[in-house]
Amino acid sequence: MKVVALADVAPQPWKNGGGVTRELLRLPLPGGAAHEWLLRVSVADIAADGPFSAFPGVKRWFAVLEGEGVRLDWAEDWSASLRTSSRALEFDGADAPDCELLDGATRDLNVMVHRAHARAFLGRAECGEGWVWHGGPRGVFTLRPLVLDHDGERLALPAHALAWAERSDATAWSLHAPADNGAAGAQTPPSGAPAAWWIGLAAA
């Protein structure tokens, strides 16, 4: 199990100055060039309105972690407003929408996968609910301190961290509050947000 804390990842400023990205996980594309990836998991801090970058051939998942949320607008006159209480939005990475902040800066979770080679999943995770993933590697991104029960083991995780298991298993994963509830309560998720987000990867 690999654990990456958001605070330990250096931010990468966007070229347009509208925000920064912290890349938590990058899996290489089999047979691809060194810069090509199969799966990419990152957290973005969006500080200003502006268009998303286009990623042709990529399926993208997007979820709001903190802030009042965003409105995404596509050229086809379709839009979506997303907040911390919303489900993750899945869309074609080639169709880069315009992003409008609803009320100030936001922090968002991005999961992107090359759809010709794999498929991905991003779903809300709550304490005490089991999650089974039969596809392959999987992980969880926490919004507060949690304990992850996985494959017969227990792992304490800090807030804002990605735990990723390369080895597939068919057991039910579940999350629980740590024994020190006082410490956990000091870092509660925003209103309407889940305790964490499940992330799964499977063959196309």
Candidates 1.20.1200.10, 3.30.420.40, 2.60.120.10, 3.10.180.10; correct CATH number of 7-114?
Answer: 2.60.120.10
Q: What tens-digit pLDDT sequence spans the chain (204 residues)?
A: 999 999 999 999 987 788 999 999 999 998 888 788 999 999 999 999 999 999 999 999 999 999 999 999 998 778 999 999 999 999 999 988 999 999 999 999 999 999 999 999 999 999 999 999 987 899 999 999 999 999 889 999 999 999 999 987 889 999 999 987 655 445 677 778 999 999 999 998
Q: CATH 2.60.120.10 in the chain: give the residue spans.
A: 7-114, 118-203
Please give the distance of CA 182 from its chain centroid, rounded to a whole number: 26
Q: pTM (2 decimals)?
A: 0.93
d(CA 141, CA 164): 9
Tokens of 39: 């799966």
Domain 118-203 belongs to what architecture?
Sandwich (2.60)
- 90 touches 133 (CB < 8 A): no
Tell me the per-residue pLDDT of 114-124, one tens digit each, with 9 for 90 and over: 999 999 999 99
Q: Where are the alpha helices (DSSP H) in the chain?
A: 181-185
* Residue 203 one-letter amino acid: A
Strand order across the beta sheet in which 174-176 lies: 153-157, 146-150, 174-176
Tell me the per-residue pLDDT of 73-108, one tens digit each, with 9 for 90 and over: 998 778 999 999 999 999 999 988 999 999 999 999
